Amino acid sequence: MPLRHAILLTAGFTLLLWLLHIVDAQLLPADIKPGVYPRRAAGLIGIPLAPLVHGSFGHLISNTLPLLMLGSGLLCFYPRAARLALPLLYLAPGVGVWLFARDAYHIGASGLTYGLMFFLLFIGLLRKDRASAGFSAVILFLYSGMLAGLLPEDSDISFEYHLFGALTGAASAFALRARDPQLPAEKYDWEYDQRDELDDPIIGDQWRMTDDSTADADAPPPDPDDPDALYTMDAEDALLDAEWYEGAAEEEEAESWPPEPGELGGESRLRRGRRHQPRRRWRRR
């Protein structure tokens, strides 16, 4: 998803939270508490409603910026995984709170925020591509302070919502890590092959053509004694030459034994005339 669309969607959800909080503060009676109350049937209504309700403007402000950045990152970088991850991150923390949390009303979008944070953190570590790992490192650098919210420090703060949100995010990242293709890694100028842009100053662009595409069976082979002739030798030709030279050297050594006086330690008398060379497959360059 384009980054602009991801930001607009996340900003729209955040604006909805602000509008609902204004309505809650002005119109909703104090005895109505649309939060999650553990192990009570009346508290089940809070599973879908609790993320939309906040206890104060300070509570809402603390969730606004993380929701904007983390939600936009999820929609932009992992759009396929977001289709399944967002419903899980929204509802599953409330289910965990209803089953295992202490007896109190639990409200706020903090469970969703922690779920987004841990999803983006773990999916970059699991996918191991450079772009995902880099984005996870940015998330850890910016929001590492949220890790302290997993501990029961303040009785007025629902650390259970934070904890189950984090567990849901990590589990979702593991389950959905392969739904999106690998993010394209940025390629720097020094990583490009300069041969793709520059031609050889001597042979021009002939290096771009392979031997098979430029081979001409009807063309006569170049003269191997001509120093200016250009030819290529494939692996089979090279092996034939090596075998011929080895056999010719052994034959020459057998014919010249015993050596004449003064010949020991001298250069080999192996003659490499054209009539002794094996047939080559010539290719025009």
Q: Please report the pLDDT score of residue 270 as a whole number.
A: 43
Contact criterion met (CB below 8 Å) for 71 and 10: yes
CB contact at 8 A, 207 and 278: no
Q: 204 in the Ramachandran plot: left (φ > 0), alpha (ψ -120 to 50) or beta? A: left
The one-character DSSP state at 179 is S
Decide if pLDDT at 285 tops 60: no
Q: Determine the residue type at 67.
A: L
Q: Give the mean pLDDT of 37-58.
A: 91
Question: Do the beta carbons of residue 113 and residue 59 sit within 8 Å?
Answer: no
- As beta bridge partners, residue 106 has 36
pLDDT in tens, 247-284: 666 766 666 666 555 555 444 444 444 444 545 454 44
The Cα–Cα gap between 219 and 74 comes to 62
DSSP 264: T
Q: Tally the residues of the chain.
A: 285
Question: Do 54 and 93 form a contact (C-beta atoms < 8 A)?
Answer: no
Q: Rounded to a whole number, what is the distance in angstroms from the first to the last CA of the chain?
A: 49
- pTM of structure: 0.65
The total of other beta-carbon atoms located within 10 Å of residue 107's CB is 23
Domains located in the chain, CATH noted: 3-175 (1.20.1540.10), 203-259+269-285 (no CATH)
Helix/strand/coil (H, E, C) string of 108-125? CCHHHHHHHHHHHHHHHH
Contacts of 285 (CB under 8 A, 6+ apart): 203, 206, 214, 230, 231, 232
Max mean pLDDT among 19-33, 49-63, 202-216, 221-235 falls in 49-63
Q: Tokens representing 181?
A: 């293709």
228 against 89, higher pLDDT: 89
Name the more confident of 237 and 197: 237
Average pLDDT, rounded, for the chain? 78
The mean per-residue pLDDT over the stretch 212-241 comes to 56
Is the preceding omega at residue 34 within 30 degrees of 0, hence cis? no
Q: What is the pLDDT of residue 274?
A: 45
**DSSP secondary structure string, 46-61?**
HHHHGGG--SSHHHHH
Q: What is the mean pLDDT of residues 232-249?
A: 62
pLDDT for 153 equals: 83
Query: What percentage of the chain carries pLDDT values higher than 90?
Result: 45
- pLDDT tier at 19 (50, 70, 90 boundaries)? very high
Question: Dihedral of the CA atoms 93, 95, 98, 102 (nearest 10)?
Answer: -30
| pLDDT top residue among 265 and 87 | 87
Closest CA to 71 of 60, 86, 61, 57: 86
Rg over CA atoms, the chain? 37
Mean predicted confidence (pLDDT) in 160-164 = 95
pLDDT at 218 over 60: no
54: tokens are 């906040």
37 and 104 in contact (C-beta within 8 Å)? Answer: yes
**Residue tagged 């790992």 (tokens):** 133
For residue 270, the one-letter residue type is L
Work out the percent of the chain whose per-residue pLDDT is above 70. 61
